């Protein structure tokens, strides 16, 4: 497309500084990402220079001063660097400082690469670390749940649905269900990591670069599993970011479920559990009142994360290759994963310090006819009557018992209900009716794999811990790979500065 009449390039047209409103609303947002990107930008720059030199696109003499300065910068904190929002994003401040120190030689960093590419690489380096940290926190949460499930494998309670007493179970079985969810979150985080572990090097503006350059080499130098398979996609796609935050949201939803339940279970109306005092806060006005503050933090944090994911999905709805979504992505994604980690660690502390009250749980399990479904199943099995009919018989017997002030069913009461429903007596076994009123006996019979019997709860908890072992190994291997890549890159870059091999004689250098 032909430029319009009088069109000038950006260098000629943008001659003044940015408007203060733009700095406040846009540039300050970008510069806030500097601590997140600081180290990764130096690593991305070092890998880029090494790859250019190795490909023969840049001479050692041109690269060495830059490499030396970048190695020094790698060991500085972001707070010590003169980042200035007036110049836009973190990379612009870095380029300005390098130009001040090295003069025009700093410009070699842009050979075959935009600042956007450096930023994308730096962010993915940071994202990998955040995902591994969250993976560790989720694993600790799952392990703590499994440990407490084992501890309470025989603690009988009435499991509830719709907050209504439903069937006899164990508190350990309840905790084991949350542990099972947590293990699945590890797989989600590992999948999100694999998407983040792709290096967007060699993308140029979008379609690549004519400069001799090995993007796979840059990926290797930085410890990435692979380079992007399509330059435009590697530069602009945001699905990996959404998957990372979605995995974090899923993990915190499990913690939120626990907090939602525990706020009810810890109330005097239930009295099932008590939170550790260190996780509570006293009422300023009412001296008798101890608020479960940690649970409010967990619930509010989960809601906040849900909103962040919704915001990221909404900003992702742009035409392709736009800055709208990326302008907010670095801070929002990193903030979401950091918040998720804090919530997971707090949830782990809640479970670890929890004091269940087995006597209160047993008391509720002994009331409310929670063995009713077991009784109906037993009648169906023993008397070869369809379940819907025995369901009606037991329901009629319970209604009569409640009307008469009774809290347990007898064989005679069931027989009377059978006459009303079917017109004929059943003659149920009194011992069987009694067993169906014994919550502990009913729980002991729930031997389906993954069921609520103490043995099955203990087996499942052990299985959770066994599945955590390879997840822990996966995380350690990823961390070791990333740390070794930094060590190796430092060594290669250091050798470039120290040894100064003969210049390969690139013309024009």
4-8, 64-68, 121-125, 330-334: lowest mean pLDDT where? 4-8
Place of tokens 């794999």: 449
Pair 234, 266 in one domain:
yes
Pair 107, 235 in one domain:
no
What does residue 487 show for φ and ψ, rounded to 5 degrees?
Answer: -60, -45
Look at the alpha carbons of 255, 259, 260, 264 in this order and tell me if their dihedral is positive or negative.
Answer: positive
Pair 200, 158 in one domain:
yes
Residue 208, pLDDT > 70, answer yes
Provide the percentage of residues in the chain whose pLDDT is more than 70.
95
Residue 6, pLDDT > 50, answer no
Pair 198, 330 in one domain:
yes
Place of tokens 């720059």: 45
Spell out the residues 6+ positions from residue 92 whose beta carbon is closer than 8 angstroms to its own.
Answer: 115
Residue 509, pLDDT > 50, answer no
Q: Residue 228, CB half-sphere, CA atoms under 13 Å: how many?
A: 23
Return the DSSP state at 279. G
Residue 350, pLDDT > 50, answer yes
Q: In which band, very low, low, confident or very high, does the pLDDT at 3 lie, cut at 50, 70 and 90?
A: very low
Residue 56, pLDDT > 70, answer yes
501 vs 456, more confident? 456
Question: What's the pTM value of the predicted model, to 2 decimals?
Answer: 0.91
The domain in which residue 48 lies consists of 15-113+486-499
Which one, of 397, 463, 391, 388, lies nearest residue 183 by Cα? Answer: 463
Pair 480, 393 in one domain:
no
21-25, 147-151, 397-401: lowest mean pLDDT where? 21-25
Kindly state whether residue 506 falls inside one of the protein's structural domains.
no
Total number of domains in the chain: 3
Pair 96, 234 in one domain:
no
Residue 449, pLDDT > 90, answer yes
What is the CA 447 to chain-centroid distance, rounded?
Answer: 33
pLDDT mean over 170-198? 98
Q: In which band, very low, low, confident or very high, does the pLDDT at 498 lie, cut at 50, 70 and 90?
A: confident
What does residue 504 show for φ and ψ, rounded to 5 degrees?
Answer: -70, 0
| Residue 410 burial (C-beta neighbours within 10 Å; 0-12, 13-18, 19+) | middle
**Contact by Cβ (8 Å): 93, 82:** yes
User: 3-state secondary structure string, 70-135?
Assistant: HHHHHCCCHHHCCCCHHHCCHHHHHHHHHHHHHHHHHHHHHCCCCHHHHHHHHHHHHHHHHHHHHH
Using DSSP, state whether 378 is helix, strand or coil: helix
Instruction: Identify the pLDDT of residue 13.
Output: 56
Residue 10, pLDDT > 90, answer no
Provide the percentage of residues in the chain whose pLDDT is more than 90.
79
Pair 257, 158 in one domain:
yes
Pair 216, 122 in one domain:
yes
Kindly state whether residue 10 falls inside one of the protein's structural domains.
no
**Contact by Cβ (8 Å): 333, 241:** yes
305-309, 345-349, 384-388, 502-506: lowest mean pLDDT where? 502-506
Pair 315, 332 in one domain:
yes
Task: List the structure tokens of 340.
Answer: 């998720």
Rounded to a whole number of angstroms, the CA Rg of the chain reads 32
281-335 residue pLDDT tens: 887 778 777 889 999 999 999 999 999 999 999 998 888 888 888 888 999 999 9
174-178, 365-369, 389-393, 504-508: lowest mean pLDDT where? 504-508
Kindly state whether residue 251 falls inside one of the protein's structural domains.
yes
CATH number of the domain within which 351 lies: 1.20.200.10
Kindly state whether residue 223 falls inside one of the protein's structural domains.
yes
Residue 154, pLDDT > 90, answer yes
pLDDT mean over 193-221? 93
Pair 480, 490 in one domain:
no
Pair 271, 350 in one domain:
yes
Kindly state whether residue 447 falls inside one of the protein's structural domains.
no
Using DSSP, state whether 164 is helix, strand or coil: strand
Residue 192, pLDDT > 70, answer yes
């Amino acid at each position: 497309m032909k430029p319009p009449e009088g069109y000038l390039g950006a260098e000629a047209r943008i001659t003044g500084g940015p408007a203060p409103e733009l700095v406040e609303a846009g540039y300050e947002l970008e510069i806030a990402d500097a601590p997140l990107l600081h180290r990764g930008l130096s690593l991305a720059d070092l890998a880029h220079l090494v790859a250019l030199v190795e490909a023969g696109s840049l001479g050692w003499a041109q690269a060495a001063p830059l490499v030396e300065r970048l190695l020094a910068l790698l060991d500085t904190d972001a707070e010590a660097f003169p980042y200035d929002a007036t110049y836009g994003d973190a990379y612009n401040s870095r380029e300005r400082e390098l130009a001040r120190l090295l003069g025009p030689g700093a410009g070699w960093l842009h050979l075959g690469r935009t600042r956007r590419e450096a930023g994308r690489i730096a962010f993915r380096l940071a994202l990998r670390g955040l995902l591994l940290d969250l993976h560790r926190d989720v694993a600790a949460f799952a392990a703590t749940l499994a440990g407490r499930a084992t501890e309470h494998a025989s603690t009988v309670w009435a499991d509830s649905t719709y907050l209504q007493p439903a069937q006899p179970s164990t508190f350990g079985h309840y905790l084991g269900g949350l542990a099972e969810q947590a293990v699945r979150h590890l797989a989600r985080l590992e999948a999100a990591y694999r998407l983040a572990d792709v290096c967007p090097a060699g993308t140029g503006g979008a379609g690549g670069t004519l400069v001799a350059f090995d993007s796979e080499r840059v990926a290797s130098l930085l410890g990435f599993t692979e380079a992007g398979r399509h330059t435009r996609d590697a530069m602009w796609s945001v699905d990996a970011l959404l998957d990372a935050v979605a995995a974090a949201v899923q993990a915190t939803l499990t913690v939120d479920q626990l907090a939602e339940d525990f706020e009810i279970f810890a109330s005097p109306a239930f009295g099932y559990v008590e939170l550790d005092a260190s996780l509570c806060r006293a009422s300023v006005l009412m001296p008798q009142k101890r608020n479960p503050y940690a649970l409010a933090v967990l619930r509010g944090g989960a809601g906040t994360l849900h909103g962040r994911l919704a915001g990221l999905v909404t900003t992702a709805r742009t035409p392709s290759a736009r800055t709208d979504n990326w302008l907010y992505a670095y801070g929002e994604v990193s903030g979401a994963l950091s918040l998720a980690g804090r919530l997971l660690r707090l949830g782990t502390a809640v479970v670890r310090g929890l004091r269940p009250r087995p006597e209160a749980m047993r008391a509720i399990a002994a009331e409310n006819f929670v063995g009713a479904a077991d009784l109906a199943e037993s009648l169906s099995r023993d008397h070869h009557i369809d379940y819907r009919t025995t369901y009606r018989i037991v329901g009629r017997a319970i209604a009569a018992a409640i009307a008469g002030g009774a809290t347990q069913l007898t064989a005679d009461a069931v027989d009377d209900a059978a006459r009303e429903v079917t017109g004929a007596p059943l003659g149920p076994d009194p011992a069987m009716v009694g067993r169906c009123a014994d919550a502990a006996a009913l729980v002991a019979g729930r031997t389906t794999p993954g069921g609520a019997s103490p043995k099955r709860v203990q087996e499942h908890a052990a299985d959770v811990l066994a599945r955590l072992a390879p997840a822990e190994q996966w995380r350690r291997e990823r961390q070791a790979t990333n740390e070794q890549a930094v060590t190796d890159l430092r060594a290669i870059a250091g050798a470039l500065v120290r040894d100064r091999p003969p210049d390969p004689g690139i013309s024009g250098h």
